[in-house]
Structure 1
């Protein structure tokens, strides 16, 4: 009796199911890589970044950019302020620079910092005859490996004036995109 050589053919349904399973596994792996290693969502809480960011706005934070370079002045970053809390602030001064806040002016290396992102807020405060910033900061040199950050809402922000310089290791990433609410979808400008 001769043994038949048979090749078992899988059914088209099984083949299709396997292809879908592979596609879903690849998609899940990509979501994991993108979500945990490259980008992360962040929800703005509190008024510290008004008038540029408001409570409940949702942002995409670029987590990989600072593995390629250091934060730059004017960029909006998210960092670990405490073990359980992340903050969003703007980079004002870099390592080795001196920084001082006097009234509505911020000085970096004894030069007034140009802050176009606050132009309208500063003009509105001046029209009302009130200072935009009510919290000064004495001149200090930014320590190596750290940055000085401030909220855009200068009188209502817990920032480097309160919590000190921010170590590079605590920086999560740069805010790149507002994606919620839909009517405010936009790239973050620096």
Structure 2
């Protein structure tokens, strides 16, 4: 191999590596990003130290009630479930979630509700009715007895502070699953 072909080969490799790094950076920054769940506020749906992929290329207008989102906090990020949208009236009465006066089934709470009942507790204390202000969301963790959320510390979440929507757990590999 002469010097010119070696130089061209090296230039080709460097160009390919720079291009691959640029694509990886763009995908991680704007489309998908890994996130580590910290704490027990979303158990049993998500567990402490599980790694999830978060879709960052989304529109708040396309979030659905029940979606799990990552919220940018002042000192840390939070993972919570979307419960209420701007203008919604949110109320909890006798462990039943009422949205705009109608009962909303929370099937993802079945396991936690059973544990609370065994311990003679309600899973979620009564509150409301509260009206979600414009530009904000009302969020709660699935582990209602051990979650700081819109009820008790986080307050209403500005829509602009949503980093992304959780898609699936990818680690530990044995727990690989789509998030519902």
Fold-level match, TM-score > 0.5?
A: yes
Once the two structures are TM-superposed, the CA of residue 107 in structure 1 deviates from its matched residue by 1.0
Task: Determine the C-alpha separation between the residues in 2 that align with 1:157 and 1:124.
Answer: 15
CA contact (8 A) 2:112 2:123 kept: no
Q: Which runs of 5+ in 1 are unaligned?
A: 1-8
Once the two structures are TM-superposed, the CA of residue 104 in structure 1 deviates from its matched residue by 2.1
Once the two structures are TM-superposed, the CA of residue 113 in structure 1 deviates from its matched residue by 1.1
Structure number, greater radius of gyration = 1
Query: Which residue of 1 is the match for residue 42 of structure 2?
Result: 49
**Does 2:179 correspond to 1:173?**
no
Query: Which residue of 2 is the match for residue 36 of structure 1?
Result: 29
Alignment partner of 2:59 out of 66, 70, 88: 66
Task: Determine the C-alpha separation between the residues in 1 that align with 2:124 and 2:113.
Answer: 12
**Does 2:115 correspond to 1:131?**
no
Q: Which runs of 5+ in 2 are unaligned?
A: none
**Does 2:176 correspond to 1:185?**
yes
Runs of 4+ in 1 over 6 A off after TM superposition: none
**Does 2:147 correspond to 1:154?**
no
Query: Which residue of 2 is the match for residue 109 of structure 1?
Result: 100
Query: Which residue of 2 is the match for residue 5 of structure 1?
Result: none
RMSD, matched Cα: 1.7
- Residue 16 of structure 2 aligns to a residue whose secondary structure is helix
Superposed CA offset, 1:36-86 (max 9, x none): 11111111111110111111001111111126x34220000001122x211
**Count of matched residue pairs:** 178
Query: Which residue of 2 is the match for residue 75 of structure 1?
Result: 67
- Residue 97 of structure 2 aligns to a residue whose secondary structure is strand
Q: TM-score, normalised by structure 2?
A: 0.91
Q: TM-score, normalised by structure 1?
A: 0.87
Superposed CA offset, 1:69-109 (max 9, x none): 34220000001122x21100000111111001234211111
Task: Determine the C-alpha separation between the residues in 1 that align with 2:128 and 2:43.
Answer: 24
Task: Determine the C-alpha separation between the residues in 2 that align with 1:73 and 1:131.
Answer: 25
